[in-house]
Homo-oligomer: A and B are copies of this chain.
Amino acid sequence: MMRWMMAALLAIAAPAFAQAPLEVREIGSLHVGGRIATLSGLPQRQMTFSAGAPPVMLDPNGEFQVEQMYAQYVKLANPRARFPLLLWHGGGLTGVTWETTPDGRPGWQMFFLRAGHDVYVSDAMERGRSGWARFPEILPGEPVFRPLGEGWSLFRLGEPAGWNRDPARRVAHAESRFPIAAWDQFMKQGVPRWATTDRQIQAAYDAYVQAVCPCVVVVHSQGGNFGFNAVLHAPDKIRALIAVEPSGAPDEAADAARVKGVPHLVVWGDYVAEHPFWSRARQNIERWQARIREAGGTAETLDLPAEGVRGNSHMLMMDTNSDEIATRVQGWMAAKGLMR
């Protein structure tokens, strides 16, 4: 058994502990990053504000706060972690990813609070409480809306043919760990996303890191490449990066030597090899990890199926064994000296 698994089991030793209340010093939030954008020369818009009322002419020009991001923190009275833990969600979703699971169980925010971390949960630029701006004038292009069934195969719950509008007729992988009865509830967490705003999202994340770190960062899916880049941009601020099912990695131009002092862990669920998009993404990530190691850094992998943990979807923080996986991540952090 890997050494850090032993550390995990020792770290979560006392069952009674899990039931004690959290001692919280403060719950709060901030917006960070962004800029003031000016629109001018746009024609007046005719808008109807209430059914049956005459239309009103609205001036769309002016100055607007745009491209900021939101983060909420829960600070413990006596944190046992050395640094705050930042959780970054993935595409088409928000920080809600880390909160209560769609079937009502405490999520990773609660897990890591109980494990003694100050936890920060954020919404990327353009998502959730970060707000969004007029398009295409400020945000380029237009947003994409995820249909109800797209994630069924994309998140590796089942084959595309297993999707059905009728929940009773949906077919998931035999060993799937996702709480599939809660799929429609999960889909309520979706928010529109732009495909053309990576630069702005990264800029806001970089401002966030400057504002609240040193820290440890956990990223998911589309958040992956933002996380890898954030470490490249601020290797002095991010003490470790845990990338859960990341969808992208830095390109050939990135200098892996910059991050050799920042341990990386990548976590994969099941059914990756069978999925064209995810197997390609994984190869890209593993190339980046290899370059980190060649440069003298630490880049490890928690391959859940290889560890005998079968059936995890892309949304492994929502899967029914989400606490077990979080325990392993906690053990890795402890083994890397990130706890007091």
Select from chain B the residue with minimum beta-carbon distance to A73.
B100
A31 vs B189: C-alpha distance when bound (angstroms): 7
Within 8 A of B (CB), among A219-271: none
Comparing A106-114, A172-180, A286-294, A312-320, the segment that makes contact with chain B is: A106-114
How many copies of this chain are found per oligomer? Answer: 2
Q: Which of B47, B63, B110, B150 contacts A148 (CB 8 A)?
A: B63
Say whether A84 faces chain B, with CB atoms less than 8 Å apart: no
A145 to B133, Cβ gap below 8 A?
A: yes
Say whether A51 faces chain B, with CB atoms less than 8 Å apart: yes
B65 to A187, Cβ gap below 8 A?
A: yes
Q: Which of B76, B77, B100 contacts A29 (CB 8 A)?
A: B100
A50: chain B residues at CB < 8 Å are 195-196, 198
Chain B proximity of A112: nearest CB distance (Å) = 11
Say whether A99 faces chain B, with CB atoms less than 8 Å apart: yes
B188 to A65, Cβ gap below 8 A?
A: yes
A257 vs B62: C-alpha distance when bound (angstroms): 46
What 0/1 readout, one digit per residue, does chain A (164-190) give for beta carbons within 8 Å of chain B?
A: 010000000000000000001101111
A191 to B24, Cβ gap below 8 A?
A: no
A106 to B63, Cβ gap below 8 A?
A: no
A131 to B21, Cβ gap below 8 A?
A: no
B23 to A23, Cβ gap below 8 A?
A: yes
What 0/1 readout, one digit per residue, does chain A (66-110) give for beta carbons within 8 Å of chain B?
A: 001010101011000000000000000011100110001011011
A191 to B132, Cβ gap below 8 A?
A: yes
Chain B proximity of A6: nearest CB distance (Å) = 29
B29 to A64, Cβ gap below 8 A?
A: no
Within 8 A of B (CB), among A96-154: 96, 99-100, 104, 106-107, 109-110, 113, 123, 128-129, 131-134, 141-142, 144-150
A-B contact pairs, 7 of them (CB 8 A): A21-B25, A49-B196, A50-B195, A50-B196, A62-B149, A65-B148, A128-B129
Chain A residues with CB under 8 Å of chain B are 21-31, 34, 36, 45, 47-51, 58, 60, 62-65, 68, 70, 72, 74, 76-77, 94-96, 99-100, 104, 106-107, 109-110, 113, 123, 128-129, 131-134, 141-142, 144-150, 165, 184-185, 187-192, 195-196, 198
